[in-house]
Chains A and B, each alone.
Chain A
């Protein structure tokens, strides 16, 4: 007697559609010159996976080095380059693009019933820009690396560092335009290309969160572009913008840098939250609790997120009153996130919860994001941040949000939409197993780092006093488990492209326009432009539970 909650989606007896976006054309040119948002999403998927593996390798080096208190694996200079590479790659070339460039590019047109994004060629251009930026940055790594930390603080980065700051600065600068173009494309698409009947408040929450993310991308990225450009100019011409010896102010760099880099963390988490909304509703087969509150929370996070950057600078010599203002605002930005967590939890109430891999990832996200977000409160608290700033507490906090949060959300989304993207089902058993391994490995890696931080172990330390060793060993043990956990989906997802059973249009029996077309979809997404007559997540209705193709107008209940 099988447990319905543990059932996997059934293979579709009809098999794959005859012609779809993957087989409509073959050859490398059909990929490198495509304007189909779905193919571009896959180009991004390949690139960011490559960068994730590279960034992960650097993480492995870090954790191996930190097994012992002495710096015995790498030289100090190499270690400093390794953690910088880890940060630069993970932030700029993995996390920021990840969900928007892969899932967003693939799904935004599908979810709103459009044939493509508003500017398909600009979409392709954004991938090329990303690739050029990535190649330059990789080149800098091969040429010997950068040792400034991903934060490039002046005057170390502008005057004292002997590493390839310029190359990486140029690579990151160029990459920023990829982000801007993606955001700009989404904004115009969402404004102008929704299918008939899809009002703003009928849009899926995934779209709302990408809309909010896009606003941050276009407003914030240009400012970090300037900050990086000024670092480059300073390094070349020794002008004195940030060099106090010739009249400059190093704190100005910090303001310009964090003005973007704080909102950037919301670029990294908001799309993930959008995924969670979609997965939870499908996995519990229930309308989201408090739709408009979740939608407005995304916008609130984007807006308030621009006002809190100074919380990275509480001990920098910034004025006390500035510190107090930034502290209050930092607490305020937590509230909409809390609202979302409560709403997702309430969505499960009286739902019909299936234990699919996406759901396991999503429920893991809710718990880990809660911890990560609450530990942010410690850091917004002025009196405590003085002690915790620049320690491993910070490292633990942001990894809980970025890895426990954003990456779990990314994996939830990849699994949830894998049938739509590839037309095939992945092996559910292996996926659930991987999710649990990742959850366990993640917590073992990063929870000890909270304790290390309060004990006082600073960040970016190549070697450390011996009393910190036991916790570091625990952390490295967790990292090895986490690495295994990440490797498993790589294997079965690639396997499934060839050997997975056909998924059919709607294996999850979910609501949403993307499920109203074939898996994989045709190049222009829909055979007929959809007509939207109901709100998002209308699972309950008088009509039968699922409608595989085409939309039948359904009456709303309640």
Chain B
């Protein structure tokens, strides 16, 4: 068996969750996995090379230059500037190669592609709540079709968790009070383990699940059969009325609050003189800490909904506000 075949055998060992045995590498199931593995092999090769070099040199010198008599007195060798420079510069060059390759992968991991389908993930002690854009909900599982790009928008209801799929080589901490994101494109059908990777209390080890990557046809079938709830926008619209957001934010009412329709993604001038963009983070903050960034020309009278809405509900409200255009506004008002 050639070296490459051996590597191929050790990789991709189990497209499904492996049983007991001695696996060495996890499956490669995302667009990032292959490249991360190659970088890992490079790091391993360099590590092995230098470890063997040091171990064997130390061993060799220890044997060759072992003490021959009790009065042995070796000549002093003070040092060598050339050697010092050599073995400072060469490692520096090597580690910089690690840096560049690693940074490039990291950049691609962190910059969200525009064409990724968003999926909401809410973590709480000790489970994962997943919601697809069409309203399908899952607990501790994530079904996705192979080949399509997905972007997880994640938040936590309590402590810090971390969404980790080893087969994807991806992980991101999930924070309370903030949204973090992770994107991927599954490349291989199968089932893969999902772990919580940030210690979060008693059942941290039990906060696992699985990611199921399916053929697109199977995925469509699953979607229609999945427990369906409202879409995020529908839930958000309901909450908007339930919490009386409309009484201040709808045009034509007493309009104590700025209009929201059509404003998502646009700049907003604040009372402090600053200008910010109306994005997810701004909306999230304004619902929970309304006086942090008050819009210019308005009084800071919005009450806080901290403790009245869950993180999940905040995400639904944000999805609703995003979806508003002027015509839809008029519709919903009816």
Contacts and interface: CB of A to CB of B under 8 A. Distances in A.
Interface of A: 3-5, 7, 71, 76-77, 80, 147-149, 153, 155-156, 159-161, 244-247, 250-251, 284-287, 289-293, 314-317, 320, 323-324, 327-328, 331-332, 334-335, 338-339, 341-343, 345-346, 348-355, 359, 363, 366-367, 370-371, 374-375, 377-378, 380-387, 389-391, 451, 454-456, 458-467, 469-471, 537-540, 545, 557-558
Interface string B36-78: 1001100100110011001101110110011111111111111
A156 B200 contact: yes
Interface stretch (B114-122, B166-174, B216-224): B166-174
Contact of B54 (A287, A366, A386, A455): A366
B87 A339 contact: yes
Contact of A456 (B98, B166, B178, B201): B166
B203 A352 contact: no
Contacts of A71: 205
Helix, strand, loop or mixed for chain A's interface?
helix
Contact of A383 (B74, B106, B178): B106
A341 B54 CA distance: 8
Interface string B2-23: 0000000000000001111111
B25 A455 contact: yes
Interface of B: 17-26, 32, 35-36, 39-40, 43, 46-47, 50-51, 54-55, 57-59, 61-62, 65-80, 83-84, 87-88, 91-92, 95-96, 98-99, 101-107, 109-111, 125, 158-160, 162, 164, 166-167, 169-173, 175-178, 180, 193, 195-206, 208, 289, 306-307
B96 A331 contact: yes
A345 B80 CA distance: 13
Contacts of B47: 371, 374-375, 377-378
Nearest to A293: B84
Nearest to B61: A348
Given A315-B162, A467-B19, A381 B99 contact: yes
Highest count of chain B CB atoms <10 Å: which of A290, A338, A384, A537:
A384
8 contacts: A155-B158, A289-B79, A293-B84, A350-B74, A354-B67, A363-B59, A381-B102, A382-B103
A286 B58 CA distance: 15
Given A156-B201, A377-B47, A557 B76 contact: yes
A498 B88 CA distance: 48
Contact of B103 (A77, A352, A383): A383
A501 B296 CA distance: 86
A386 B169 contact: yes
A3 B102 CA distance: 50
Contact of B76 (A155, A287, A327, A346): A287
B66 to A, nearest CB: 4
B176 A463 contact: no
A471 B22 contact: yes
B199 A387 contact: no
Contacts of A345: 54, 57-58, 61
Contacts of A540: 73-76
B84 A382 contact: no
Contacts of B23: 455, 467
Contact of A285 (B40, B73, B176, B306): B73
A366 B62 CA distance: 13
Nearest to A450: B44
Contacts of B73: 285, 352, 539-540, 545
Contacts of B176: 155, 244-245, 250
A324 B50 contact: no
A339 B54 CA distance: 12
A390 B171 contact: yes
A161 B182 CA distance: 28
